[in-house]
Every structure is written in structure tokens, then in C-alpha cells.
Chains A and B, each alone.
Chain A
Amino acid sequence: MIRHLFPLPDPNAPPRLVRVARVPPAGEKPAMREPGERQPWIVRPEGVRTLWWLFGAILVLNVVAELFVHLHPHFELEGAFAFHAWFGFLGCVAMVVFARLLAMFLKRKDTFYDVVD
């Protein structure tokens, strides 16, 4: 469950290799990954796990900091504890869910208009 809510990169996933078919405007195709390339720390599972903890700590500090400043709410609702935190979070969830619902009706292949996108 926790793993699901705070995802880590899967070390067993096969590496992705995107093919560049056309020559880009720069005039030459970009280099590709060397076979034995070492992954930087921030994309390795232990790095991502650390980043999650770090991020969590910042979030907690951010909410706690509210107690030490003088808030001057314009509306009654805004005075609720950590209003901006939960309002922002729930607002985003609502927007993503709405977008997914809309996509159920309006999603099409990107070749729909017979145009290379």
C-alpha cells in the first residue's frame, strides 16, 4: 500500500531506449546511453527513497511553520488549520480525477486529425 502511494523506481524494469528516426534540427542525432552507464544517485531506488523522506520532512516543517507566523486570513475558511496544504492537495486530486473523467470521452489517438504531431 505504502509502496503504491509513494512509488519508487522499479530496478527490474527493462531499460527504455527511444529511437530517433529523423535527423533533428541540430543536424546530427543525439548520443545514446552507453551499455554500462552508471545511474546517478537521484534516480536509484535508495536515492528516491531518501528524496521522499526529505520531501516529507519539508512538508511537515512547512505546516508546522504556520504556527510561528501571524496569518491574517481574508475569509473565515482560510483560518482553518493548514488550509492551504489540504486545499491544494484536494484541489489537485479533484482536477486530476476530473481530467481523467473527461479523457474517458474525449481521448483519441494522436493521429486522429491525420497529422504527425
Chain B
Amino acid sequence: MSWTSLPPALVLMLAGLLLPFLPRAARQAVSLIAPLGALGLVWAVPDGVSLSVPYLGYQLDLVEADALSRLFGTIFSLMAFVGCIFALPQRNVLELAAALIYAGGAVGVAFAGDLVSVFIFWELMAVASTLVVWAPGTPEARQAGLRYAFMHFLGGAVLMAGIAGHVAATGSTEFAAMSADTPATILILVGFLINAGAPPVSAWLPDAYPKASWSGTVFLSAFTTKTAVYVLLRGFPGTEILIWVGLYMVFYGIVYALLENNMRRILAYSIINQVGFMVVGIGIGTEVALNGAAAHAFAHIIYKALLLMSAGSVLYMTGLRKCTDLGGLFRTMPITTVCGTIGALAISAFPWTSGFVTKSMITQGAADQHLLWAWMLLQAASAGVFLHAGIKFPWFVFFQRDSGLRPKDPPWPMRAAMIVFAILCVGIGLMPGPLYAILPYPVDYEAYTGAHVITQLQLLLFSGLAFFMLLPLMKRTETITLDLDWFWRVGAPRLGEILRESVGGQWTLLVAGFRRWIERVMAWTARTHSLQGALGRTWPISASAVMVALFLLVYLMLFYLWPA
């Protein structure tokens, strides 16, 4: 075993565990060095299984590399690195330590060669990300973190049930492409989809992520949903239902983001929207669509982190998060405005940004398969992305009516992190070659044709026209929009209350009656079977002999008298 078979995840996790014991300067250094070390290992690990350990009779392939796992390992490590630059001014030790372990879990999933290892890293991520949500320590973060944890442990339980069933049925723990046609594989698919933010439980994401600190949300946006995309890519490529699940997510994200007032929740809804595009690509399942989904996940992590960094910078400098409180910040926050706008253009797949060269592969996949409806909905959704994230976010935060606030740009580490990611957004958009080279399948796709640039510009610019013409309808109010989480946040507790008020008394009587009956049985048993009881005490041998003789007599009589 050479050093190259060290799991990249281990570096991040050990760094996370070490962090709380270090002084602040050393903490900052370790938080930057560890992701770089992991990134180096991601590229040093040879193809195939390089670390395998026996556990409970199973062979766990903790590190198994191929192009797909290396792609996701790369972006997760890179995200951890730039995220830690952004978080240099963050004084909360818990958040940074948890974020590193969280990133380690994501890298671990990307390199896990069998379902049991996937599950282990999956659950580590759930625990660590809950800690990131909890880190600010506010009551709303505590409550949202608890709901988040419940949802992810539910997903984990479903996933474990599926894995157990799958292993029992096939005898193999290998993590390879499956088809969702047995109860076990369906459970695995559902477990994966819960983490992707799929319906009906999508609400966990916009509920929890915006409650984290100004830097915590940046980490949260990157790992959980994108590991879900990774496992779906590996486990369920070409599963048709995913097309429809993905399309639902795409439009759910747009509609809810359009109605939202909290700037970071707008971006949280748009995570679901973007993951929806990837899920559609996985459902289409052709090489170009799968490449598109993988490339889009890569580009998405960068521009979404960039958007949340610009929102985090505004929150850091002003403490405000509602669109109704913000506006006009472009005057004194030029770097944040420019970087946020670049992120907004990239998420909208504007030509010369990263989204343009990645998302178009997914729509191309739909067109190649002649999926007219899916293609039309994807095109409409692309216009909708520009509407809800591409224009709405920068417009309401940095422009619109002046709020009178004149905050400065954030400290240099935060500016540096935003600039790095902004350069990457434009760089990938201008030169997609290096990204295309590390995709799982060979790429035969040219994004920059005259027709593609012009049609995409038409789509986006005219949705921009729609935005500004419909501005009176987009006016922000201090409201939220109810989601299905109403059922478990209000509905279920209210139902419990109603039941307690109505049949609660009878229920208590019933339970009490049942308990009294059990107590009587216990008392009777104690009377008859205790040391002094008829059946418990010692009897003389003669009495036993008489008893046995009696039994034999009864038996003999039955033998002759019983009708044959």
C-alpha cells in the first residue's frame, strides 16, 4: 500500500477533527492545506480499487477510482478549498471543522466502490452537514437543523433498507448501474432522491440552507445534492422516471424562487431547479446527456457557490437578507456586484459562461432522443432560470430602488474567493476543453455554433424583457410561500393535538384498562407460579406419581373412547 492509496476523504476528515484543537492562525492554514492535499490525492489515486478492507464479512472498497469519481472528487476538493478561503474571517470553529468533514464525506462517496462504503460516507455527510446548519446557534438554525437531520436520517434508513435488500438478493455489495425494478433498488433510488431534493420532500433544502451562517450556506450548497447527482449518475443512468422527477424539480424551483423574498432562499430554490436539470439528464441516459449532467454538476457547484458567496458577503456586511430590505448596493460593493452577476449569468447558461457549455448538453440529449415535450419544458425552464436567478437575484439585491445602505465590499479573503470562482465561471465558458476532457464519456459536442449562441441569446434576452415588463408583478412582499413541509411542521402536530383533544380521553382509558388487565395476569401468575404457588412449590414424589398415573388414565380412556 503506497501513499497514493490513501483515501482523499481521510485527509479532509482528519483535518476537520484536528481543527478545534488548533489556534486560529493554524486553523486557517490547515483548512486551506487539507483540501489541496485531497485534490492532489484525487489525481494521484490510480484507476480501479486501491484500498479495500474486510468488514463484517464484506469487502469494503473504500477507494475505487474512475473518470466519474475523479471528476466529482476534483470539484468537491476545489469547492472545499475556495470555500475555506471565503470562510477565513469566520470565527466559528464548529462550522469549519464540520464543513471539512462534510466535504470529506462527499469525496468519500465519490470514491466509494461498494454500497456499504457509500452508506457510511453518506451518513457522515448527514451528521456533519447538520452541524454546519446548527453552527450559528440561533433558535431558528437549531430547529431547522433538527428538521434537516430528521429528513436525512429518514433518507439514510430508506437507503440502508434498500442496500440490505439488494445485497440479500444479489449477494454483491458492488455499486454499479442498477435498474429500479425490485423493491430493494426502488428503496435505494428513493434514498438517493431524498438527498437530491426531489418531491415530495424538496422543502428540506430551502428550509435548512438559508438558516446557516453567511459562510455555512456556501458549503451546504455544494455537497449533499451533488453527491446525490453523482450516485444517481452511477447507479441509475437512463431510468425514465427521473426525467419527470427532474422536470418537476426544475419548475418547482422556478415558481417558488419567483415568489421568495429572502435572497438566500431564492438561491436555495434555484439549487433544486438546477439539480432538476441534472436529474433529467440522468433520466435521458444517453452519453451526451450523462456527460451533460456530470459537467453541469461541476459548473453548478462553482457558480452556485459564487452566488451564495455574493449573498453571504451582503449578509456579512449588512446583516440583512430580505429583498425588501436591500437594493442599490452596487454603488459601494462593486466587486460583489460584478462577481454575483457573473454567477447569475453562469446559472442562466448565458453564452461565454460555464452554464452555457454544460447545460446545453442536457437539452441536446433531449433533442437527440426526440423527446419533444421534455425539450420544450427544458427550454422554457432555461428562460425561467434567467428570470428567477439570473435577473431577480442581482436586481433585487444590488440594484432596484436604493435602500440607502452603503456597505463596503467584504474583507479580502471573501473578495478573493469570489474572484477565483468568477474567473472559473468565465474560463470554463470560454474554454470548455479541459472540463470536457475529464468527463466520463468522450465528448463530441460543440457548444459555440452561431445558431446555438443566437437562439440562446434570444431565449434569455426576451425572458429579461419579460422580467422588466412584469416588474410590478414581481414586487417583493414580506411573505413566504407554503410548501409540503407544512404537513410535518404544522399539519401533523395539529392532527396530534386534535386527536388528543377528541379521542385522547378514551385512548387513555383504553390504555389504562389494558394495563390493569396485564397487571391482573401478572398477579395471577405470581400467585400460581411463585415459590408458594400451587404450580411453583415443591411437591412430594408420591403426589407426582399419583398425578402422572391420573394423566395416563385419562389418556387411556380418551384412546378408547375417542371416535376413530
Given A65-B454, A110-B261, A110-B479, check contact A59 B469 (CB 8 Å). no
| B406 touches A (CB below 8 Å) | yes
List A contacts of B471 (CB < 8 A): 7
Per a CB cutoff under 8 Å, which of A32, A39, A87 touches B379? Answer: A87
| B407 touches A (CB below 8 Å) | yes
Give Cα A54–Cα B403 distance, bound, in whole angstroms. 26
Per a CB cutoff under 8 Å, which of A24, A40, A71 touches B318? Answer: A24
List A contacts of B535 (CB < 8 A): none
Give Cα A71–Cα B455 distance, bound, in whole angstroms. 9
| B186 touches A (CB below 8 Å) | no
User: At the interface, is chain B mostly helix, strand, loop or mixed?
Assistant: helix
Contact A92 B332 (CB under 8 A): no
List A contacts of B481 (CB < 8 A): 102-103, 106-108
Contact A20 B318 (CB under 8 A): yes
Q: Of residues 392 to 427 in B, which have CB atoms within 8 Å of A's CB atoms?
A: 399, 401-408, 410-411
Q: Of residues 52 to 73 in A, which have CB atoms within 8 Å of B's CB atoms?
A: 55, 58-59, 62-63, 65-66, 68-72
Per a CB cutoff under 8 Å, which of B319, B456, B468, B480 touches A25? Answer: B319
Q: How large is the interface on A (under 10, 10 to 19, 20 to 34, 35 or more residues)?
A: 35 or more
Among B37-45, B220-228, B380-388, B518-526, the stretch in contact with A = B380-388
Contact B462 A88 (CB under 8 A): yes
Among B69-77, B320-328, B543-551, the stretch in contact with A = B320-328
Per a CB cutoff under 8 Å, which of A33, A43, A88, A99 touches B255? Answer: A99
Given A9-B401, A25-B319, A43-B402, check contact A62 B214 (CB 8 Å). no
Per a CB cutoff under 8 Å, which of B143, B479, B483 touches A115? Answer: B143
Give Cα A17–Cα B451 distance, bound, in whole angstroms. 46
Contact A62 B140 (CB under 8 A): no
Contact A117 B214 (CB under 8 A): no
Q: How large is the interface on B (under 10, 10 to 19, 20 to 34, 35 or more residues)?
A: 35 or more
Contact A70 B458 (CB under 8 A): no
Give Cα A13–Cα B404 distance, bound, in whole angstroms. 14
List B contacts of A15 (CB < 8 A): 402, 404
| A30 touches B (CB below 8 Å) | yes
Give Cα A100–Cα B478 distance, bound, in whole angstroms. 15
Contact A99 B451 (CB under 8 A): no
Contact B458 A63 (CB under 8 A): yes
Contact B255 A112 (CB under 8 A): no
Smallest beta-carbon distance A25→chain B, Å: 5
Interface centre among B450, B466, B473, B483 (most CB of A within 10 A): B466
Top 9 A-B pairs, shortest CB-CB distance? A24-B319, A30-B407, A69-B450, A92-B466, A91-B380, A88-B383, A17-B404, A84-B458, A74-B367
Q: Write the residues of chain A forming the contact surface with B, with a CB cutoff of 8 angstroms.
A: 5-7, 9, 13, 15-18, 20, 22-26, 30-33, 39-40, 43, 55, 58-59, 62-63, 65-66, 68-72, 74-75, 77, 82-89, 91-100, 102-103, 106-110, 112-113, 115-117
Besides A23-B319, A30-B318, 20 more A-B contacts (Cβ < 8 Å) are: A18-B325, A18-B326, A25-B214, A25-B319, A30-B406, A30-B408, A32-B406, A43-B402, A55-B461, A84-B456, A85-B459, A88-B382, A89-B383, A91-B463, A92-B462, A94-B380, A100-B473, A106-B482, A110-B480, A113-B489
* 20 A-B residue pairings within 8 Å (CB atoms): A6-B469, A18-B404, A22-B319, A24-B315, A31-B407, A33-B402, A55-B464, A59-B462, A62-B457, A74-B368, A75-B367, A75-B375, A77-B372, A92-B462, A96-B466, A96-B473, A99-B258, A107-B259, A112-B480, A117-B210
